Amino acid sequence: MIQKREHWGSRMGFILAASGSAVGIGNIWKYPSIAGQNGGAAFTLVYLACILVVGLSIVIAEFVIGRNTQLSPVGAFEKLAPNTSWKWVGFLGVGSAFAILSFYGVVGGWIFKYIIMSLTGGFDTLAGSPDTAGNVFNTFITGLWAPVFYQVIFMTVCIWVIIHGVKGGIEKWSKIMMPLIIILLAVLAVRGMTLPGGSEGLAFLFNPRFEELTASGIVLALGHAFFTLSLGMGTMITYGSYLGKKENLLNSALWVIFLDTAIAMLAGVAIFTTVFALGANPAEGPGLIFVVLPSVFPQLAGGTVWGTMFFILLFMAALTSAISILEVVTAYFIDQKGWSRKKATIRFGAVITVVGAFCSFSLGGGINITGIFGISFFDFMDGLSSKYMLPIGGMFTAIFILKKWGIPNFINELKNGMDHFNVPPALIRTLLTIGAAVVAFIIFNEIYAVFAGKALIG
Ligand code: TRP
């Protein structure tokens, strides 16, 4: 069955949807904590360089492949290189989407639970006591059904948006949620900066401390640049496939990386000014969001409002990202199998929710499958996707353009929508080569670490 391809309704809608994919849990909890821990502005400089050199070129590469073929990853590679193995890069993307969304949905559920908890005054008893907050969090996530219950709610909202289509679902909700995320974060950042002592948080985040920047910090910056821009699994190919020829892809990609970076920094300001003003310890990772912040917010006047605002904006950020991940799977079944959008989304949304429930169970909810992988199934899915599948996907995307499709074809497509701009082929070749090489190094470093017990760098 041939269906007419859906398209974005407006250029702004596309940019907000693509940046909605990029802006996610990664921006709000990961960037601030790794920047703070690895030299502040010294880390941020390296990170910006990675975003501009590696990130920008691969975002554009994905947009170009998607728009040219008007297909999601598997179909796209098959169309540009028929009867070759290149379509496996597309399948790898669909597989990565399964792996990422299974645990991402669980975290989405935790966020929803924390909105409810904050609204109902559940943070009040945690004021000033990260230890109690830590116990509450651990008891919750290691429970059997409660986390799964919230995960199902998160996934249902995600499925519901996607069923409404590219324009009527993804675009419509991105246009509502992205501005809200920015406004709420800005309010929280101003609140934080006006707290006495808040500026210490700014120093933690923005003072360049080059002596703290290590080789492993640099590798971290590279890996994060990749994850935060949603690269390597064909998300941007899929979103690009709903574009028409008039769009200027360079300009759109610059908007996406600008919004992604600006929001990550704003999140850093909002979080660290508040944490430092109250003399709390800036923990890393999930602890910062689910343990430190719930113990800090109730110490502020109007704490319920600030806490609820924070978790609502985090929920929206997670949702727009989760949508982009599920859309890769949905688009595969629509494009390659001729399924209806509704059938594809519901079936595979449900399958991913069930796999995700096992991620949640593996944290302690009674079903122990940790023994099989040596680590919890949750960490296994996380590590497998972000350390291996995404970088491998991104590397092959760059190699595909360099070696198979060819720079001239790539430039012909890129030029649509940017009439008076001459794209120098040598520049494209250099950027994609650097991108592929750098990612290859990250993958090698990971694999080396598994076998040698210690990373080459990091
Ligand atoms: N970029 C998102 C974040 O920062 C996560 C994400 C969404 C993602 N879609 C993706 C990561 C696709 C890799 C690939 O949280």
Higher pLDDT residue, 447 or 325? 325
Contact 256, 229 (CB under 8 A): yes
Whether residue 47 is contained in a domain is answered as yes
Query: Is the pLDDT reported for residue 357 higher than 70?
Result: yes
pLDDT band at 374 (very low <50, low <70, confident <90, very high): low
DSSP state of 208: B
User: 345 CB under 6 A from ligand 1?
Assistant: no
CA 229 / ligand 1 centre spacing (Å): 6
pLDDT band at 358 (very low <50, low <70, confident <90, very high): confident
Ligand 1 atom 13 nearest Cα: 230
The stretch 307-321 carries a mean pLDDT of 96
User: 69 CB under 6 A from ligand 1?
Assistant: no
Count of beta carbons in the 10 Å neighbourhood of residue 124: 14
Angle at 187 between CA 185 and CA 192, to 5 degrees: 90
User: 256 CB under 6 A from ligand 1?
Assistant: no
Angle between helices 303-337 and 249-277 (to 10 degrees): 150
The pTM of the full predicted model, rounded to 2 decimals, is 0.92
Whether residue 90 is contained in a domain is answered as yes
Count of beta carbons in the 10 Å neighbourhood of residue 331: 30
With tokens 């969001």, the residue in question is 289
The stretch 135-145 carries a mean pLDDT of 88
CA 146 / ligand 1 centre spacing (Å): 25
CATH number of the domain that 214 lies in? 1.20.1740.10
End-to-end CA distance of the chain: 50
Query: Is the pLDDT reported for residue 34 higher than 50?
Result: yes
Containing structural domain, residue 414: 11-452
The stretch 5-18 carries a mean pLDDT of 95
Whether residue 5 is contained in a domain is answered as no
Mind listing the pLDDT tens digit for each residue in 231-259? 999 999 999 999 999 999 999 999 999 99
CA 16 / ligand 1 centre spacing (Å): 14
Whether residue 2 is contained in a domain is answered as no
Mind listing the pLDDT tens digit for each residue in 383-405? 777 778 888 899 999 999 999 99
Give the pLDDT confidence score for residue 433 in this predicted structure. 94
Whether residue 1 is contained in a domain is answered as no
Higher pLDDT residue, 167 or 143? 167
Greatest mean pLDDT among 31-45, 160-174, 383-397, 423-437 lies in 160-174
Whether residue 243 is contained in a domain is answered as yes
Give the pLDDT confidence score for residue 3 in this predicted structure. 61
Whether residue 458 is contained in a domain is answered as no
The stretch 431-444 carries a mean pLDDT of 88
User: 324 CB under 6 A from ligand 1?
Assistant: yes
Percent with pLDDT over 90 in the chain: 59
Give the pLDDT confidence score for residue 282 in this predicted structure. 75
CA 347 / ligand 1 centre spacing (Å): 22
Whether residue 124 is contained in a domain is answered as yes
Angle at 219 between CA 215 and CA 224, to 5 degrees: 145
How many structural domains compose the chain? 1
CB-count exposure of residue 338 (10 Å: 0-12, 13-18, 19+): exposed
User: 59 CB under 6 A from ligand 1?
Assistant: no
Percent with pLDDT over 70 in the chain: 95
Mind listing the pLDDT tens digit for each residue in 42-55? 999 999 999 998 89
Mind listing the pLDDT tens digit for each residue in 287-297? 888 888 898 88
